[in-house]
A and B are shown apart, each in its own frame.
Chain A
Amino acid sequence: AQSVTQLGSHVSVSEGALVLLRCNYSSSVPPYLFWYVQYPNQGLQLLLKYTSAATLVKGINGFEAEFKKSETSFHLTKPSAHMSDAAEYFCAVSATSYDKVIFGPGTSLSVIP
């Protein structure tokens, strides 16, 4: 069975600082991995996804994530935080492209001016 953990339910960074949101997964097969963002009172938006191509995945809004099989990790980074990045971020996993997506508990990102 697949599962996802996100270290840190809440992360605060200063504007312009590095954003690092952690995600570790458990999967019996090479997984499909996703990062979604949810702004207040909105639905979820896909930031990026890993589907066994390049291990470094670039997404929208300057975010990227690196798949590290040895560490079972898929951490999300952005070099310089903007105020508009404040939102809830969900890491998610599915075993195959047809399996349901399992979401992690989420990390709330605050950006301090």
Chain B
Amino acid sequence: DTEVTQTPKHLVMGMTNKKSLKCEQHMGHRAMYWYKQKAKKPPELMFVYSYEKLSINESVPSRFSPECPNSSLLNLHLHALQPEDSALYLCASSQDRADTQYFGPGTRLTVL
């Protein structure tokens, strides 16, 4: 299994809602990543987990809260988002921080 899965594929939420994005991999990878990608732009790194511990937080606003419950799962909890947070949110994983990253298909988020 060489796949990173993300759910949901699409999400529409209001500014007062709380929602979560989910990412899963069963490749035994120990590093997992969240990226944000706006239309026609490159991905921007948000968070990196290595061996289930947060190792990089790229000064992301606290309305985004990552969680790594185990080595296969990565969540991104969303609360009180703004319309400018609408984007494609990509998850990736790698064997460890030094290895090739494998990307999931992304969750397209719209904040109304």
Bound pair (A, B) = yes
Residues of A within 8 A of B (CB): 41-46, 49, 90, 92, 97-98, 100-101, 103-106, 108
- If A100-B48, A100-B56 touch, does A46 touch B43 (CB 8 Å cutoff)? no
- When C-beta atoms are compared, the residue in chain A nearest to B45 turns out to be A100
Most buried by B among A44, A100, A103, A108: A44
Known: A43-B104, A44-B90, A106-B40. A97 touches B98 (CB 8 A): yes
Interface of A is mostly: loop
A-B residue pair count with CB separations less than 8 angstroms: 43
The distance from the CB of A60 to the nearest CB of chain B, in whole angstroms, is 12
Q: B32 to chain A: closest CB distance in Å?
A: 13
Inter-chain contacts of A101 with B (CB < 8 A): 45, 101
1/0 per residue, CB under 8 A from A, across B19-50: the answer is 00000000000000000000011110100100
- A103 touches which of B43, B98, B108 (Cβ 8 Å): B43
Task: Give A98 Cβ to nearest chain B Cβ, in Å.
Answer: 5
Residue of A nearest to B91 (CB): A43
With A100-B48, A100-B56 already in contact, the answer to whether A46 and B100 are too (CB < 8 A) is yes
A43-B4 in contact (CB<8A)? yes
Is B103 in the interface zone, CB < 8 Å from A?
yes
A9 and chain B: residue at smallest CB distance: B40
Residues on the B chain within 8 Å of A92, using CB: 42
Return chain A residues, CB-CB under 8 Å to B101: 46, 101
B98 with A98: CB separation less than 8 A: yes
- Which 5 residue pairs of A and B lie closest in terms of their CB atoms, listed nearest first? A43-B103, A97-B98, A103-B42, A44-B103, A98-B97
By a CB distance below 8 angstroms, the chain A residues around B45 are: 100-101
Residues of B within 8 A of A108 (CB): 40
Interface hits, B60-112 → A, CB 8 Å: 90, 92, 97-106, 108
Pick the contact of A45: B41, B42, B103 (CB < 8 A): B103
